Structure 1
Amino acid sequence: MFLSSCRLAGITACLALLPPGSAWAQSAPEPEPAPAPPPADVSAEDLADIEKALGQEAAEAARTSGTTPSPPSASPTSSSGILLSPSNINFRGLELSFILDAAAAAFTAEKPLQSGGHDPTANGFNLQQLELSVHTAVDPYFQFTGNIVFSQFGVEVEEAYASTSALPASLQLRAGQFLTRFGRLNPTHPHSWDFVDQPFALGRMFGGEGNRGLGVEGSWLTPLPWYVEVIGSVTDASGESTARSFLGSGGGGVSSPLDFQFTGAVKQFFPLSDDLSLIWGLSAADGPTPSGYRNRADVFGTDVYLKYRPLSGGSTTLVTLQGELFYRRRQVPQDVLSDVNGYAQALWRFSQRWALAARYEFGSPARGLGGAVADDPLDPEWTDSRERLSANVTFWPTEFSRLRLQAATDNARWREQRDYSVFLALEVVMGAHGAHAF
């Protein structure tokens, strides 16, 4: 019954449908009851007088008790249809949020090997991004989601798509520009990451902005006894915002179906116990490359996410383990190159406001059919293996802000010495923002 009603909105949304006593359900505060609407025969002038009287009574009570009255909050029944608060910006059903990510950085290398489009890349202050997120229900059949990113040098439409909300048989479609659901980290945004920067494995496979493009995606929540979601998408393989392994900016348009990128994924969720759960995914992508006529590239990946969170005793402890492994094969003139990249990370949130995390990354040089290191047109410098180790400590002043101190050592073996980096990052969030993936 649960699987048939789960609408493919994602694991977090599915878990929200479970009864409070279920082993899969996540602990969350009970929602406050919505305020009752004013009687129909009360005029706007009467409401203003009532609110003024209530304010005077609150001020009088504060004077007698020695406390400071709280400022009145915006009413969800405002005649303007506008609701403004730190946790909600709502204009007549249009939910907005603003997310600022900025960091101070120090590098020992003159040319840091950062691969993410939102990574700190220079000594001094870095504006990683200001993201405007928009979400609304269009009608009973479609929802609209948009993510617009502002930087010091321009504005970028990162995602803009419509998704269905009323298809039968646990099916869902979305169309527009979106991050493909390849692996675990690619479809997410920087503010949901456990680290300030992107793993270089993801940047090497898919570029600084991840694997995204214009197209259409379908997903199906299977009726199996455990959570299994099957996803497939067809997107453009050309343009600046597409996968690095495929056509990218070297594309010449679409002349046949073979000029598209095809992506597939399977997501599975296993509740191992009341406190322990596991997500395991498999992904694959295929598309054309600019290295020659009808040359193709294939990327295969697997991802795992293990989460431990005690539900009893009011504990705030959280332990997560996450990892992804990528294998890529691509055709070049008179050869086929392959390389392997990946990362593994652990996070321990030992109190409500503090957490520690560590991450290990690795990557191999491209090798030809004979197994020897080959000249790689994508990474001419990458002639040996690379490893990077990062660690950070995170502090949440509130649920709307986050401070993070992160340090890393980067061992690119084709360089003469290791590179070191330190980041101090600030993130603030204002407005209604959708739940992150479980």
Structure 2
Amino acid sequence: MPSPSRRPAGIFTVVPCLFWLYAIPAAAQESTPDAGPPPSDAGPPPATGSSEVQPSADDMADIEAALGKDKAAAGTETNPAPAPASSGVEVSTSSVRVGANNQWLDLSFVLDMALAAFTSDEPLQQGGHDPNTNGFNFQQLELSVRSVVDPYLRFDSNIVFAPAGVEIEEVYVTTLDLPANLQVRAGQFLTRFGRLNSTHPHAWDFADQPFAIGRVFGGEGNRGLGLEASWLTPLPWYVELVGSATDATGEGTARSFLGGGGDRVVSPLDFQFTGAVKQFFPISDDLSLMWGLSSATGPNSTGYRNYTNVFGTDIYLKYRPTTVASDTIVALQAELLYRRRQVPNDVLTDYNGYAQVLWRFAKRWATAARYEFGTPAHDQDGHVAADPLDPEWTDTRQRISANVTFWPTEFSRLRLQAATDRAGWRDEPDYSVFLTLEAVVGAHGAHAF
């Protein structure tokens, strides 16, 4: 770019020409009103009543040449040639265009960190990204990459950076154009069991994962490599049927199944199968309800052809005024999980669940409270049994949490949370306090209802 104090050289040619063509002849006409007609090569005379003088052919050639130089100089200085489509990366405010076919990638980073304090030396946190030590906790840095592959497939991935290393949390493709309201996705994904399992920490109303999810499925939630199909039924109300088949292994993702055993697949019975029914009911313009039923079944590691079955129900009731201008949101969310596991010569059962309420009382402020519980494993006779997964879990555990959240903008969040954790097998309850910070950059879509 030229310096502001300099002008392209062609301007010095155009200005004197225009001055000579218009100013000097006009002054001459005013001083010599009786002058004769212009020379024959000066072009046609001006129209009657006009004081303009038309330039000659040579003058017009000089002006056009000077303007051409200016245009060429401006083009080279202010309009650089674009790079070929097959090279380089073009960045917008929230997307990146790459490749020969100029595909757009939606990129986002989500940072979650916390300052935590516990009264116990061994906190009973179940989530893989929960704050779990006194002091500063780096929960995760999530990189999300999304793009439409072609008219038939969409690509989604979530890569998590944590102190323990880099983890591919999800990476899958989803169909876009199947008939009959069908949709299929393939890859590694969080199964759609219940409501919370398929979401990420930045979508939660609390700083940590309910221990029901961690105890039953693992610290990372239930996910696996596999295939999922869903169908939006043509019923008068919203009903979606979901079914998936995934690997039953994964220490942090298939805790009630094969876990970290890594057993090989020798038949379809070695997969974990998950099914769910999702229903939506618009009760009124301001009140809506979602209700789901879920089940998951797969082999466990206690013996040959021993299986685990998990059944769950979830509910989400949301009040948000739409008929009047208001920032108020009141949401009730609850899940109940029943687990049944075959072990050598016995069957173990237990219940786990949580219920929480959120009140967003201002545009940037909200408060929430949550109650969680988990029962010890019982045998077929109803007695408390030794649990191979949680041998210390010999009594009921309950946890109560409350928090207040402040959003400086939609891209950042501060949350102060306190909890009391009462495990029946411990003499004293555990108390905890978290102060968390979340920051989002890039393109990040709206959260699900």
TM class, shorter-chain normalised?
0.7 to 0.9
Per-residue CA deviation, residues 25-84 of structure 1 (Å, 9 max, x unaligned), is xxxxxxxxxxxxxxxxx9996597499xxxxxxxxxxxxxxxxxxxxxxxxxxx977334
TM-score if structure 1 supplies the norm length?
Answer: 0.82
How do 1:8-407 residues align onto structure 2 when only pairs under 5 Å count? Answer: 46=75, 49=78, 82-85=90-93, 88-91=94-97, 92-407=103-418
Aligned partners of 2:310 and 2:164: how far apart in 1?
Answer: 32
Aligned partners of 1:133 and 1:121: how far apart in 2?
Answer: 25
SS of residue matched to 2:369:
strand
TM-score if structure 2 supplies the norm length?
Answer: 0.80
Aligned partners of 1:235 and 1:45: how far apart in 2?
Answer: 61
1:23 aligned residue: none
The percentage of counterpart residues that share the same residue type is 70
Alignment RMSD:
1.9
Number of equivalenced pairs: 369
Task: Return the index of the structure with the highest Cα Rg.
Answer: 2
Per-residue CA deviation, residues 252-288 of structure 1 (Å, 9 max, x unaligned), is 1100111000000000000000000000000000000
SS of residue matched to 2:312:
strand
State whether residues 336 and 369 of structure 1, in contact with CA within 8 Å, keep that contact through their aligned partners in structure 2.
yes
* One-letter identity of the residue aligned with 1:149: V
State whether residues 217 and 252 of structure 2, in contact with CA within 8 Å, keep that contact through their aligned partners in structure 1.
no
State whether residues 236 and 242 of structure 1, in contact with CA within 8 Å, keep that contact through their aligned partners in structure 2.
no
Aligned partners of 1:157 and 1:430: how far apart in 2?
Answer: 20
State whether residues 142 and 164 of structure 1, in contact with CA within 8 Å, keep that contact through their aligned partners in structure 2.
yes
Aligned partners of 2:323 and 2:300: how far apart in 1?
Answer: 52
Give the gaps of 5 or more residues in structure 2.
Answer: 1-70, 81-86, 98-102
Instruction: Classify 1:225/1:385 alpha carbon distance in 2 versus 1 (closer, same or farther; 3 Å).
Output: same
Instruction: Classify 1:276/1:290 alpha carbon distance in 2 versus 1 (closer, same or farther; 3 Å).
Output: same
* One-letter identity of the residue aligned with 1:308: Y
State whether residues 155 and 172 of structure 2, in contact with CA within 8 Å, keep that contact through their aligned partners in structure 1.
yes
State whether residues 212 and 241 of structure 1, in contact with CA within 8 Å, keep that contact through their aligned partners in structure 2.
no
2:65 aligned residue: none
Per-residue CA deviation, residues 216-272 of structure 1 (Å, 9 max, x unaligned), is 000000000110000000001023353111001113110011100000000000000
Give the gaps of 5 or more residues in structure 1.
Answer: 1-41, 52-78
Task: Please report how far the alpha carbon of residue 366 of structure 1 lies from its aligned counterpart in structure 2 after TM superposition.
Answer: 0.1
SS of residue matched to 2:150:
coil
Aligned partners of 2:232 and 2:77: how far apart in 1?
Answer: 50
Aligned partners of 1:299 and 1:345: how far apart in 2?
Answer: 21
Aligned partners of 1:328 and 1:373: how far apart in 2?
Answer: 14
* One-letter identity of the residue aligned with 1:421: S
State whether residues 339 and 349 of structure 2, in contact with CA within 8 Å, keep that contact through their aligned partners in structure 1.
yes
Runs of 4+ residues deviating >4 angstroms? 42-51
Task: Please report how far the alpha carbon of residue 437 of structure 1 lies from its aligned counterpart in structure 2 after TM superposition.
Answer: 1.2
Aligned partners of 2:131 and 2:366: how far apart in 1?
Answer: 21
Task: Please report how far the alpha carbon of residue 384 of structure 1 lies from its aligned counterpart in structure 2 after TM superposition.
Answer: 0.2
* One-letter identity of the residue aligned with 1:414: W
